[in-house]
Structure 1
């Protein structure tokens, strides 16, 4: 019963947080805690269930705990190899492979601790599992809420559609990843425009400056891409100074405030980047919802890990502090052993 009460409290906090501002990482944590305590309550309730049902559920849970990490590690390693083949050997493309190898490494370390019966190794493994458990919980919260956030309805009262740049190929050409954002931006623009008065038709902002290996600013290549495909040139505003997502937000905000102070916007990026971009928009004071465009399935695991790592470090004081506290607990256990 206690677990259900705690789950209800966190669910209420989640609901209040979403109503206050959808773009808060605390919403993800509250939802994750609500689901966790609900599951604990359901497991505790198995004591009163028929024996056959209880045994079946426990067997399934144990199988998931035992085989789940192995399957996950295999899938991540396979995805990492695919990423390297398709996208090349770069640090960002190795994340899923490294995550898969890391899971296998932890499993090997656990096996060594059991076989060797070493108390020191057991404490090291236990401490590592506590830290990984905390990080994994946050990762699941991030993925779960990002999934929900990406499916929220587009706000109909926005005056702006801001498409974030992501780099050009060959110095001037729009790559498929960026083209996906632009096509999604066009869809959002058309959705907003069909319900607006003539004097309040939205404006689409292409946001992206010129990189060191680019012949022109991303925003100009993005605008040209849209115009060549029939988009009205007079409904495009180009933000051509930004080099990072944070600057995308700040410089686009300045343009929007200069034209229509206090207006709202819909920001378009890729789906794996949407929730983190929403957190950035909130931090920058941009009054906007973020929506995602489709991304190739093989690209998603490494990209999601990268996005989570950036969010984790954004709240480094809390997260690293908790991880350090868990390590100190392990050190204390070693001293007392």
Structure 2
């Protein structure tokens, strides 16, 4: 999938949307592989096309996202139920007008049916496309299903998703991360970590200045400028434990002070940002940590990668604190043990002395 370059036909989703050889797309992968994220990204991308008045095969595509587990009865009027929900808020008249516009080809639906595997067991194996008469009732929409691969154990599972013409079904599987993709994920996350910290400072400054709301669009423009002018001129190294060198952090703080949009002047905010930027891990440190605790085989999905890159840095201060407590305990324990041993030794000497005294006294009789 390449939504940055929509006309890139090497992306399977791009091919599905542009070539229109098929009308139903099945996307499946293991738990945590990012199926729902893909569905949401497609929805977001199609809305952006609408904002730019870009048509797909002479149609204005309108995405309808449906979380299948949240639908009361997926086998009966699923689109009507979804459009009546709070997110869309259609009434009967609007539903009727919508169908009329679809029939007049004013636009076309792209229906995203997410998490097929999480429906009630009684609905699994039901072909929601055919049962709900999507072709006739909703003017031949494009439909995308997402599900876990684990449920596709039957030899005829394609029948659960295919339209009447089975050649119109396209199937793609989200594969596990390879080593290159893992490294790239960590690299992108480390860059994003800087953005998150800068955004938090911008958010704090907005509140301090009593502004009504943050201008997200302007922040994105600022971030693009920051990446172009700073990150490309001062690239982040992947080696070493820390992500940013002291000089780089100083340059970032200076950039934020001089930039017209951010114009960060608070010494306290600058100090806090300085400290937090110093704490960011490098790619090499993440890789070393993954290797040290033998997690490499577990992090082959986006979900697991997200956990790995976020949890350990937060745990490290607590682990360090525990290690210090352990070291202090060992030191104190050793002192106490020595004290006990010395006390025991003194008592043994006393006991021995008494025995010797009694023996000598007996001999003198």
Check whether TM > 0.5: no
TM-score normalised by L of structure 1:
0.24
TM-score normalised by L of structure 2:
0.23
